[in-house]
Amino acid sequence: MKSIEEEWNGFSAMVFAKINPSSTQVEEMKRAFFAGAWAILCAVKRIGDPDISEEAGMAFLEERQSEGKQFYQDLIKRYAEGN
End-to-end, the C-alpha distance of the chain in Å comes to 28
- Assess if residue 42 is contained within a domain: yes
- Assess if residue 43 is contained within a domain: yes
Q: Provide the number of structural domains found in the chain.
A: 1
Give the model confidence (pLDDT) of 2-57 as tens digits.
999 999 999 999 889 889 999 999 999 999 999 999 999 999 999 999 999 999 99
- Assess if residue 76 is contained within a domain: yes
Residue 32 near residue 2, CB atoms below 8 Å: no
Instruction: Provide the residue range defining the domain that includes 46.
Output: 23-80
- Assess if residue 71 is contained within a domain: yes
Q: What's the pLDDT band for 68 if we cut at 50, 70, 90?
A: very high
- Assess if residue 56 is contained within a domain: yes
For the cut 80, the answer to whether the pLDDT of residue 79 exceeds it is no
* Distances in whole angstroms, Cα of residue 40 to Cα of each of 22, 65, 68, 80: 27, 11, 11, 27
- Assess if residue 30 is contained within a domain: yes
- Assess if residue 48 is contained within a domain: yes
